[in-house]
A and B are shown apart, each in its own frame.
Chain A
Amino acid sequence: DAKTTQPTSMDCAEGRAANLPCNHSTISGNEYVYWYRQIHSQGPQYIIHGLKNNETNEMASLIITEDRKSSTLILPHATLRDTAVYYCIVRAPRILASKLTFGTGTRLQVTL
């Protein structure tokens, strides 16, 4: 799986968009970009994933650059409940089950 690089921490004002970057310059053609988050003391939560095209769901949008070497997770209207550690994971589909490797992630602090 390709290595990812994320900022250690970010702040965002409540109601504003939170843009969380991720670099994955060694990504391969069949590798997807996944985003998870972990709110304090809770289990990780799947947010969104994509291959090439931008993706949007009820939680967030995922923007992947044309060369696929980086991506941005966008929370359009951040709330205090979005305060969490956000993990960007790059991996290829597997035939068999295998582990998810969570790096250090970005600690997002949403403030009033």
Chain B
Amino acid sequence: NAGVTQTPKFQVLKTGQSMTLQCAQDMNHNSMYWYRQDPGMGLRLIYYSASEGTTDKGEVPNGYNVSRLNKREFSLRLESAAPSQTSVYFCASSISGSHETQYFGPGTRLLVL
């Protein structure tokens, strides 16, 4: 059981470039989430997917898009990266929305120059 996996681990982008962060879970969880964590700050929810086929905005969705490809995979896309999107991105999953024991991936460190 790998749990929640994320790729890539680290990425450097130039302003205006695009990229997709990948997340997959093998725990048969229904709900998946994308958070960002800026240095010295707490986690902020970007987007989440309560179940396969649904996605909803979190606190800070601007500049991002998501795709719930299937039950296992939830990707986060930056269409035109900005320096303000420099952050560590964490993907998480939970069995359902009700009990919110979320399991997190190792994170993707993104630097936008």
On A, residues with C-beta under 8 Å from B are 32, 34, 41-46, 49, 91, 93-104
**Number of residue pairs across A and B with beta carbons under 8 Å?**
64
Q: Say yes or no: A42-B33 contact (C-beta < 8 A), given A49-B101, A97-B48, A99-B58.
A: no
A49-B45 Cα distance, complex, nearest whole Å: 21
Size of B's binding interface in residues, CB under 8 A: 29
Contact A97 B107 (CB under 8 A): no
Interfacial residues, chain B to chain A (CB-CB below 8 A) = 4, 31, 33, 35, 42-45, 48-50, 56, 58-59, 90, 92, 94, 96-107
Q: Chain A binding site: helix, strand, loop or mixed by DSSP?
A: loop
Q: How far is the CA of A77 from the CA of B103 in the complex (A)?
A: 24
Which 8 pairs between the two chains have the least Cβ-Cβ distance? A43-B104, A97-B97, A99-B45, A97-B31, A97-B50, A96-B97, A102-B42, A93-B98
Q: Is B42's CB under 8 angstroms from A95's CB?
A: no
Asked if B98 and A95 sit within 8 Å, CB to CB, the answer is: yes
Instruction: Select the residue from A49, A93, A96, A101 with max chain B CB neighbours within 10 A.
Output: A96
